[in-house]
Structure 1
Amino acid sequence: MGNISTNDIQSLIQLFEKSDWREMHLILGETDLFLSKDRNAQTQISLTTAAPSVPAPSHRASVPATPVETPDPKPHGSKIPAGWTLVKAPSLGTFYRAPKPGAPMFTEIGAQVAADSELCLIEVMKLFTTLRAGTHGTIREIYAKDGELVEFDQPLFLIEPDA
């Protein structure tokens, strides 16, 4: 586990920018990644073992972290009806609606779900978390797009309870 891909590095940078962390330093094999939100800090990135499509820099680069806008906590500014369940992301990561590419989606709008029904996968650095409905009902909204990076506590699904 000494190699880190360009996609992994991009995902780490996106996750770091959206986190409340001040600094992150990752050493994996010969790859050394250092990120800081302190503009006065010397942010350093060394990608000596990155994927072949990305040339390794011959010097350390200084890159300030960019500010990230916080999304509206309510999906699309709408009001959630009383008794309905808003299923939120348990962590930062990539949102997948199917178990693998080309496979049927876990659920669709209008589908009936049970408490243990799988709704999606959230992936961070090749680790997948299965998100379950947690309640019986009907899927009324799906807020995230397949393959989209989602934030911790971001609304993903709206479930209307069974009558």
Structure 2
Amino acid sequence: MDLKEIQSLIKFVSKSGVNEVKLEVEDFKITIKTGAGVPETTIVHQAAPVGIPQTPVAVTPSVDAVPTEVKVEDEESKYVTITSPIIGTFYRKPSPDKPNFVEVGDTIQADSVVCIVEAMKLFNEIEAEVSGKIVKVLVDEASPVEFGQPLYLVDPS
């Protein structure tokens, strides 16, 4: 495996969202680790034939290997985000047999209930706190949510 193939592999791994990949082939081992921020240095251990010393080669991913979401943020910057005020489980409907509180395209008021977050067996109704139109649902039904995690995108215009 040459340097260009290794760089291509690094780019592929960083775009895939995987945190760590280990690859072992007959003559060498490679471990690629990426984090939430800047990708870590990748160490390639090349196994050498008997009698030749083994040399580790450090490969640092190029700036191109870091995935960027600048375009997504620019498009979404005009929207207001409804975030979770508590840690718990996100539900879009009041009960399994009822319809969702809101759907994409619905117009909401500041006091509209948009979802429920269950925390410690208590079902907390979450109000929009903003008027506008629901553009996107950012969390799946019955998924765990963290404090401050975005739940919906709202177009306030």
TM-score interval (norm. to shorter): 0.5 to 0.7
Counterpart of 1:101 in structure 2 is 96
Structure 1: runs of 5 or more not aligned: 1-69
**Whole-angstrom CA distance in 1 between matches of 2:130 and 2:124:** 18
* Residue 144 of structure 2: aligned partner: 149
Structure 2 residue 114 is the aligned partner of structure 1 residue 119: yes
CA distance in structure 2 between the aligned counterparts of 1:123 and 1:87, rounded to whole angstroms: 17
- % identical aligned pairs: 36
Correspondence for 1:25 = none
Tell me the amino acid that sits aligned with residue 130 of structure 1. Answer: E
Deviation (angstroms), 1:121: 0.3
Q: 1:90 to 1:71 in 2, by over 3 A?
A: farther
1:135-146 aligned at under 5 Å gives the runs: 135-146=130-141
In the TM superposition, residue 81 of structure 1 has moved relative to its aligned partner by 3.9
Aligned residue for 1:107, secondary structure, equals coil
Go from structure 1 to structure 2 and tell me whether the alpha carbon gap of 1:100 and 1:139 turns closer, same or farther (over 3 Å shift): same
TM-score under structure 1 length normalisation: 0.50
1:134 is aligned, of 129, 132, 142, to 129
**Paired AA for residue 140 in structure 1:** V
Q: What's the secondary structure of 1:108's corresponding residue? A: coil
Distance (whole Å) between structure 2 residues aligned to residue 71 and residue 120 of structure 1: 29
Q: What is the Cα deviation at residue 124 of structure 1?
A: 1.0
Amino acid at match of 1:151: E
Deviation at 1:83, TM superposition (A): 4.5
Between Structure 1 and Structure 2, whose CA radius of gyration is higher? 2
RMSD: 2.3
Offset, 1:128: 1.4
| CA deviation vs aligned residue, 1:88-136 (integer Å, no higher than 9, x gap) | 1111100000011110100001110011111000001111111111111
Q: Which letter does structure 1 place at the counterpart of 2:144?
A: L
Residue in structure 2 matched with residue 15 of structure 1 by the alignment? none
The size of the alignment, in residue pairs, is 90
Normalising by structure 2, we get a TM-score of 0.52
Structure 2 residue ranges without an equivalent (≥5): 1-34, 38-68
Give the match for residue 92 of structure 1.
Answer: 87
